[in-house]
Amino acid sequence: MRLVATTAGTVRGADEDGVAVFRGIPYAAAPVGPLRFAPPAPVPPWDGVREAVAFGPTAPKNPYAPPLDALLPDPDVPGDACLNLNVWTGAPPGAGRPVMVWLHGGALRNGSSAVPLYDGRAFARDGVVLVSLNYRLGIEGFGVFPDAPANLGLRDQLAALGWVRDNIRGFGGDPGNVTVFGESAGAVCLGALLASPRSRGLLRRAVLQSGAPAAAAPGKAARTTAAMARHLGVEPTAEAFARVDRARLLAAQRAATAKGTPLTGGRGFHIVVDGDLVPEDPAAALAGGAAGDVDVLMGGNTEEYRLWFVPTGLADRVGRTALRLALLRHGAPWRTPRVYRAGRPGASPGEILGAVATDVVLRVPQGRLADARTQGRGRTFLYEFGWRSPVQGLGACHALEIGFVFDTLGTEDSRLLAGDAAPRSLARAMHRAWIDFATHGDPGWPRWDAGRPVMTFGAEGAHVVHAPREAERRLWS
């Protein structure tokens, strides 16, 4: 067993397969009572030794709705002290190791650090100190109220990064060499953190997986709060919501957000431009030079849309008329279906719509940001994950790359998406690229420039492609 002193007290972890693991360490006080809709408060110090061998409580959330619940396990650990984190480090720990901090996804209303796919042993085995964390979700993390600060879940993440700065040296990490990486909503949060003046000095590098910097105006983001208030029959204030039983609150949240997805829209939760933590739209701030000295690696999966379109049957229900109407809403040129179909012979209208949505929400914004960053001191690298899962026709869908990045293809939740024959060699290549980027800022391929180099991780292995699907990209320029 391992003892480490933190600023709040001593914690005891466990040795697992040559790795020291510390789970459930609080980085902020439990968000209950007067702290429920308040910014994260300091952890009350403790005497003696605190056991840190089990995952801490997860943030209040609903399970994923069918059919995603069968593909994306989402453990629920009861308890109020959900602002906790986990650390994996070498046993015995070295000194000055690079640090990687993981922000999980889940549309800002699902997910936790207890998902087995996010096990950090492979990172620790390969010389990295891996930190994963929980943050407030849904209405308690991203609700918009007139009487409470916005972006509480984002403020939680910032508090966790402050904990890393103040404590990670005791776990063998270098607080001056911190890479934050996040997927989906975690990547969107990371984009906002990068653009926020509050994050200066807390991270050196960033990896955005399947997410682009984005935020909503308070009025738009408040629509979900208002819908929940109508469902509950209360005023849309933090004071009124704090008096509602949590089970009723989650039921109202499920009802208000049932039809929303990250690609098709609908009511959900958003990072908010609040004039404080997020002073302006993160995409605009980053394009304007914010975090220009931070190295950034970003990308996504070739067929992100298939996670939502295929299991639900949406890909088969979309016809030509629905495709045209959707493209009109996106402001797409009339020739868009022809251009996309040229690279996808035999694609259905639903598959064309999914490819367009993937580009509009992810690939195009990331490309624009990469272009804007070419004059800054920080280097920018792009990747694309294209290996296709045989499971349920998911293909190269959203979230599939995570097991490759963490080198956890053997876990049951990875097999749910990737099957039993996912290539370990591709996982080793992707995992190593992330470690190399965190260690010295170079994942192993050319930085972004006018040639538009993209490292593609696919069935043929890892290789650089210049300006992939350029005709499709130009539709949006």
Each residue of 337-386: pLDDT tens digit?
999 999 999 999 999 999 999 999 999 999 999 999 998 899 999 999 99
Residue 375: the pLDDT is 87
CB 128 within 8 A of CB 169: no
Residue 259: the pLDDT is 80
Domain limits for position 98 = 2-474
Q: Kindly name the residue from 303, 304, 351, 472 that is annotated as catalytic.
A: 304
Distance between CA 152 and CA 391 in Å, rounded?
Answer: 37
Q: What is the pLDDT of residues 80-126, one digit of tens each?
A: 999 999 999 997 666 899 999 999 999 999 999 999 999 999 999 99
**Closest Cα partner for 322 from 346, 348, 303?**
348
Q: Is 371 helix (H, G, I), strand (E, B) or coil?
A: helix
**Closest Cα partner for 413 from 27, 52, 54, 75?**
75
Query: Cα dist. 208→26, 188, 193, 213, 232 in Å?
Result: 25, 8, 12, 9, 36
Tokens of 154: 């984002």
CB 213 within 8 A of CB 192: yes
**Closest Cα partner for 193 from 126, 277, 115?**
277
**Closest Cα partner for 188 from 170, 211, 166?**
211
Angle at 203 between CA 198 and CA 206, to 5 degrees: 110
Query: Is residue 330 annotated as a catalytic residue, yes or no?
Result: no
Q: Does residue 220 register a pLDDT over 90?
A: yes
Q: What's the mean pLDDT in 34-55?
A: 97
Q: Kindly name the residue from 104, 183, 389, 398 that is annotated as catalytic.
A: 398
In sequence order, the 6+-apart residues with CB closer than 8 A to the CB of 348 are: 315, 316, 318
Distance between CA 59 and CA 79 in Å, rounded?
Answer: 9
Mean pLDDT across the chain: 96
Count CA atoms within 13 Å of residue 85 on its CB side.
29
CATH code for the domain in which residue 420 is found: 3.40.50.1820
Question: Which pTM does this prediction carry?
Answer: 0.97
Distance between alpha carbon 398 and the CA centroid of its chain, in Å?
11
Angle at 111 between CA 108 and CA 116, to 5 degrees: 155
Angle at 155 between CA 149 and CA 156, to 5 degrees: 125
Query: Cα dist. 450→46, 153, 297, 370, 374 in Å?
Result: 55, 37, 17, 10, 9
**Closest Cα partner for 103 from 23, 42, 184?**
184
Beta bridge partners, 156, equal none
What residue ranges in 184-294 does DSSP mark as E strands?
205-209
Query: Is residue 398 annotated as a catalytic residue, yes or no?
Result: yes
Distance between CA 201 and CA 204 in Å, rounded?
Answer: 7
Query: Is residue 303 annotated as a catalytic residue, yes or no?
Result: no
In sequence order, the 6+-apart residues with CB closer than 8 A to the CB of 87 are: 13, 20, 21, 22, 25, 120, 129, 130, 131, 168, 171
Q: What is the pLDDT of residues 388-411, one digit of tens each?
A: 999 999 999 999 999 999 999 999
Dihedral of alpha carbons 449, 453, 454, 457, sign: negative
Q: Which helix (H) or strand (E) holds 220?
A: helix 218-232
pLDDT band at 262 (very low <50, low <70, confident <90, very high): confident
Residue % of the chain over a pLDDT of 90: 94
CB 405 within 8 A of CB 436: no
Q: At what angle do helices 349-358 and 320-330 cross, to 10 degrees?
A: 20
Q: What is the pLDDT of residues 313-335, one digit of tens each?
A: 999 999 999 999 999 987 899 99
Residue 68, burial from CB neighbour count under 10 angstroms (0-12, 13-18, 19+) = middle
Residue 9, burial from CB neighbour count under 10 angstroms (0-12, 13-18, 19+) = middle
CB 163 within 8 A of CB 135: no
Q: What is the pLDDT of residues 136-194, one digit of tens each?
A: 999 999 999 999 999 999 999 999 999 999 999 999 999 999 999 999 999 999 999 99
Radius of gyration of the chain (CA): 21
Q: Kindly name the residue from 112, 132, 184, 199 that is annotated as catalytic.
A: 184
Q: Does residue 264 register a pLDDT over 70?
A: no
Residue 93: the pLDDT is 62
| Cβ neighbours around 167 below 10 Å, total | 22
Distance between CA 448 and CA 442 in Å, rounded?
Answer: 12
Residue 263: the pLDDT is 65
What residue ranges in 222-347 does DSSP mark as E strands?
295-301
Count up the domains in the chain and report the number. 1
3-state class percentages of the chain: helix first, strand second, coil last, to nearest 5: 40, 20, 45
